[in-house]
Structure 1
Amino acid sequence: MTKAEEFEQLRSLLFAIAYRILGVVSEAEDAVQETWLRYEATETQPTSTKAFLSAVVTRISIDVLRSARVRREEYVGQWLPEPLLADPYEDPARAVELADSVSMAALLLLERLSPVERAVFVLREVFGFDFREIASAVGRSEAACRQFAVRARRHMDAGRPRFEVNRRAREELAARFFDALREGDVDGLRELLAADVQMVGDGGGKAPQLGRDVVGVESVARLLVSIFPWFARIGVELEERQVNGNPGAIFRDRENKVLTALTLDVLDGRIQKICSVINPDKLRHVGPVADAWALNREFTETRHRTNSATPETRQP
Structure 2
Amino acid sequence: MRREEEFVELRPLLFSIAYRILGSVSEAEDAVQETWLRYEASPTQPVSVKAFLSATVSRIAIDVLRSARVRREVYAGRWFPEPLLADPYEDPERSAELADSLSTAALLLLERLSPLERAVFVLREVFGFGFAEVASAVGRSEAACRQLVVRARRHMDAGRARFETDHRERNELAGRFFDAFREGDVDGLRELLAADVQMVADSGGKAPQWGNGVFGAGNVARTLAAIVAPFARIGGVVEPHEVNGQPGAIFRDRDGKVVNTLTLDILDGQVQAIRAVINPDKLGHLGPVADTWTIVREANQARRRTD
Scaled to the shorter chain, the TM-score interval is over 0.9
Q: Does the 8 A contact of 2:199 with 2:213 survive in 1? A: yes
Q: Does the 8 A contact of 2:230 with 2:300 survive in 1? A: no
Q: Which residue of 1 aligns with 2:61?
A: 61
Q: CA deviation at 1:234?
A: 1.1
- RMSD of aligned Cα (Å): 0.9
1:172 and 2:172 correspond: yes
Distance in 2 of aligned mates of 1:65 and 1:42 = 24
Distance in 2 of aligned mates of 1:96 and 1:186 = 35
Q: CA deviation at 1:95?
A: 1.2
Distance in 1 of aligned mates of 2:24 and 2:228 = 27
Q: CA deviation at 1:193?
A: 0.4
Q: Which residue of 1 aligns with 2:94?
A: 94
Q: Does the 8 A contact of 1:237 with 1:251 survive in 2? A: yes
Q: Which residue of 2 aligns with 1:114?
A: 114
Q: Which residue of 2 aligns with 1:8?
A: 8
**1:111-150 maps to which residues of 2 (within 5 A)?**
111-150=111-150
Q: Which residue of 2 aligns with 1:311?
A: none
Give the share of equivalent positions with the same residue, in percent: 73
SS in 1 for 2:147: helix
Q: Which residue of 1 aligns with 2:71?
A: 71
Give TM-score scaled by structure 1 length.
0.96
Q: CA deviation at 1:154?
A: 0.3
SS in 2 for 1:84: coil
SS in 2 for 1:264: strand
Distance in 2 of aligned mates of 1:125 and 1:305 = 56
Q: Does the 8 A contact of 2:131 with 2:146 survive in 1? A: yes
Q: CA deviation at 1:210?
A: 4.2
Distance in 1 of aligned mates of 2:134 and 2:76 = 34
Distance in 1 of aligned mates of 2:285 and 2:192 = 31
Letter in 1 for 2:267: L
Letter in 2 for 1:50: K
Q: Does the 8 A contact of 1:181 with 1:229 survive in 2? A: no
Letter in 2 for 1:148: L
Distance in 2 of aligned mates of 1:133 and 1:170 = 37
Letter in 1 for 2:183: E
Distance in 1 of aligned mates of 2:300 and 2:81 = 28
SS in 2 for 1:10: helix
1:225 and 2:230 correspond: no
Q: CA deviation at 1:166?
A: 1.1
Letter in 2 for 1:109: L
Q: CA deviation at 1:211?
A: 5.1
Deviates more, 1:228-237 or 1:84-93: 228-237
1:291 and 2:299 correspond: no
Q: Does the 8 A contact of 1:77 with 1:202 survive in 2? A: yes
Letter in 2 for 1:224: L
Distance in 2 of aligned mates of 1:271 and 1:100 = 17
Q: Which residue of 2 aligns with 1:23?
A: 23
Structure 1 stretches of 4+ moved >6 Å: none
Letter in 2 for 1:152: A
Q: Which residue of 2 aligns with 1:190?
A: 190
SS in 1 for 2:191: helix
- Aligned residues, how many? 307
SS in 1 for 2:11: helix
Give TM-score scaled by structure 2 length.
0.98
**Structure 1 251/211 Cα, relative in aligned 2: closer, same or farther at 3 Å?**
farther
Q: Which residue of 2 aligns with 1:312?
A: none
Q: Which residue of 2 aligns with 1:33?
A: 33
SS in 2 for 1:199: strand
Distance in 2 of aligned mates of 1:269 and 1:230 = 29
Distance in 2 of aligned mates of 1:233 and 1:176 = 22
Offset from partner CA, 1:36-90 (integer Å, 9 cap, x none)? 0000001111111000000000000000000000100100011110000111001
